[in-house]
Amino acid sequence: MSALPPAPAPPVQRLAPVQIDRPVPGSTRDLDDARDRSPVAETPLLVIDLRQIRSNAHAIAAAFSGMDPLVYYAVKANPAPEILSTLAAAGCRFDIASLGEARAALAAGAPAGHLAYTTTIKKAGDIRAAYELGVTLYTADSPDEIDKISAAAPGAWVAIRIAVDNTGAAAPFGSKFGCAPEQAADLLRRATRVGLIPAGVSCHVGSQQLDVHAWDKPIAAAASIYRAFGGELPMLNLGGGLPATYTDPVPAVGRYAAAISQSLDRHFGASRPHIILEPGRAIAASAGVIHCEVVQVTHRHGQRWVYLDVGRYGGLAETEGEAIRYPMHAPDVGGPLGPVIVAGPTADGDDVLYHRYRPELPLALRAGDRVVIGCTGAYTASYAAVSFNGLPPLAVRCAFDSAPVAWSSR
């Protein structure tokens, strides 16, 4: 086996300010196709507005600018190559969860030093391959994972993910990830012993987090871990969780930044570490609109059911448990509206989007009419089944100006 290359220079020494505003000439592929303003012919189709992607990333960077954060886009939210190249050209970094995502980010033009392999569940072979691609920042939450990283990526940086309360999140992580905060200093010491460079603590307060103060306890826990560890820990990874606006209003990003800044002051004082943010939903969700078609309208047990050509398996997986409630409307059909039960097209009984939330759609809605589902840029195409019921995965079209097909709330 050939020897592994030496670890590249530590990422912290190569931090550049996020410049989301920089123009992105020619950074997306298929721009001619992306500018195609023709009406949507084939549905279901997810249309992504790249301008919105860029402005969402800019809004986060601007809101947190006082903290000089490093923004790593969580590729899992939507890995469309055009999104990645738009963000890479804007100076954004990338939070990757697999080797495939690492390759996608590199292909989009990101330098390997701008990637963080943050899932705590990685195969040794994938760590080794990522390391050979130049990825030097990893996350772990167990002794086993630390040892794996040290063997496969010697000399790399490692952050320790702690388990934190996810109350307030529409999509919490349960107890799958993170060590107890009391174990973190020991894991950081273990990382040092096995030749890794301890980077600091990482956490995730749950996705679509609606409590702006949710990061306070994790920041307090991190501060005491940094004190217990004693040595230098340059980073604090605050994960994702910033929300998107679906059917209900959410706090503005500036309120999250203000609350986090106060927590950093309170718990770290003047010795703040570099802040890492890993937004996925807050960058991608509001940039996407799914165009779909009504397959059937029927009345059952006194309820009006609308069956669409997209459902839980076609990309709307986050409707499970009604975690995410998407806004919907039928732009081409007028007249009075009424509540409906919305279901997907497959032969699966679970393919009913909502039972409690009843979107209001026109009473005149018929098979063949178009329905648009707003705020669907995140966790939709990446969740779609590849061929359940023989249906193709959700198609995606990215454009710099998707005005003709953009979501408009009514």
Q: Which positions lie near ligand PLP, rule CB under 6 A?
A: 74, 76-77, 95, 118, 204, 207, 239-242, 278-282
The span from the CA of 77 to the CA of 402, in Å, is 20
Q: Which is closer to ligand PLP, CB of 27 or CB of 78?
A: 78
Residues with Cβ < 8 Å from 257, sequence gap 6 or more?
63, 64, 66, 67
Q: Tally the residues of the chain.
A: 410
Q: How far is the CB of 69 from ligand PLP (least distance, A)?
A: 13
Residue 96: how many CB atoms within 10 A of its CB? 27
Q: How far is the CB of 383 from ligand PLP (least distance, A)?
A: 11
Q: Which is closer to ligand PLP, CB of 121 or CB of 367?
A: 121
Q: Which is closer to ligand PLP, CB of 318 or CB of 351?
A: 318
DSSP states of 32-50: HHHT--PPP-SSSEEEEEH
Q: Which is closer to ligand PLP, CB of 280 or CB of 315?
A: 280
SS3 78: coil
Q: Which is closer to ligand PLP, CB of 38 or CB of 175?
A: 175
Q: How far is the CB of 321 from ligand PLP (least distance, A)?
A: 16
The alpha carbon of residue 64 and the mean position of all alpha carbons in its chain are separated, in whole angstroms, by: 18
Q: Which helix (H) or strand (E) holds 373?
A: strand 370-374
Q: Which is closer to ligand PLP, CB of 91 or CB of 241?
A: 241
Q: How far is the CB of 122 from ligand PLP (least distance, A)?
A: 12
Q: How far is the CB of 336 from ligand PLP (least distance, A)?
A: 36
Residue 274: how many CB atoms within 10 A of its CB? 18
Cβ atoms of 222 and 162 closer than 8 Å: yes
Q: Which is closer to ligand PLP, CB of 211 or CB of 293?
A: 211
Q: How far is the CB of 176 from ligand PLP (least distance, A)?
A: 10
Q: Which is closer to ligand PLP, CB of 275 or CB of 308?
A: 275
Buried b (16+ CB within 10 A) or exposed e, 63-73: bbeebebbbbb
Q: Which is closer to ligand PLP, CB of 177 or CB of 307?
A: 177
The alpha carbon of residue 66 and the mean position of all alpha carbons in its chain are separated, in whole angstroms, by: 23
The residue whose Cβ lies closest to ligand PLP is 240
Q: Which is closer to ligand PLP, CB of 58 or CB of 329?
A: 58
Q: How far is the CB of 182 from ligand PLP (least distance, A)?
A: 21
SS3 343: strand
The pairing of strands 235-237 and 303-308 is unpaired
Residue 346: how many CB atoms within 10 A of its CB? 18
Q: How far is the CB of 111 from ligand PLP (least distance, A)?
A: 20
Residue 261: how many CB atoms within 10 A of its CB? 16
Cβ atoms of 375 and 245 closer than 8 Å: yes
Cβ atoms of 183 and 227 closer than 8 Å: no
Cβ atoms of 75 and 97 closer than 8 Å: yes
The alpha carbon of residue 46 and the mean position of all alpha carbons in its chain are separated, in whole angstroms, by: 16
Q: How far is the CB of 233 from ligand PLP (least distance, A)?
A: 18
The pairing of strands 303-308 and 157-161 is unpaired
SS3 401: coil
Q: Which is closer to ligand PLP, CB of 91 or CB of 239?
A: 239
Q: How far is the CB of 72 from ligand PLP (least distance, A)?
A: 8
Q: Which helix (H) or strand (E) holds 188?
A: helix 181-193
End-to-end C-alpha distance for the chain, whole angstroms: 61
Q: How far is the CB of 15 from ligand PLP (least distance, A)?
A: 19
